[in-house]
Amino acid sequence: MNENKSAISQANSYLEIGEFWDNHDVTDYWEQTKPVNFEVDIQSESRYCAIEPTLVTKISKIAWQKGVSMETLVNIWLQEKLAHEI
pTM of the model: 0.48
Q: What is the pLDDT of residues 30-44, one digit of tens each?
A: 998 888 898 888 887
Measured in whole angstroms, how far is the alpha carbon of residue 86 from the centre of its chain? 22
Break the chain into its structural domains and give their ranges: 1-38, 53-85
Q: Residue 79: in which H helix or E strand, if any?
A: helix 70-85
Top-confidence residue, 20 or 40 = 20
Return the pLDDT at 45.
82
Q: What is the pLDDT of residues 45-71, one digit of tens each?
A: 888 899 999 999 999 999 999 999 999
Q: Is 39 exposed, middle or buried (0-12, 13-18, 19+ CB in 10 A)?
A: exposed
**Cβ proximity of 72 and 81 under 8 Å:** no
Return the pLDDT at 83.
94
Distance CA 82, CA 73 (A): 14
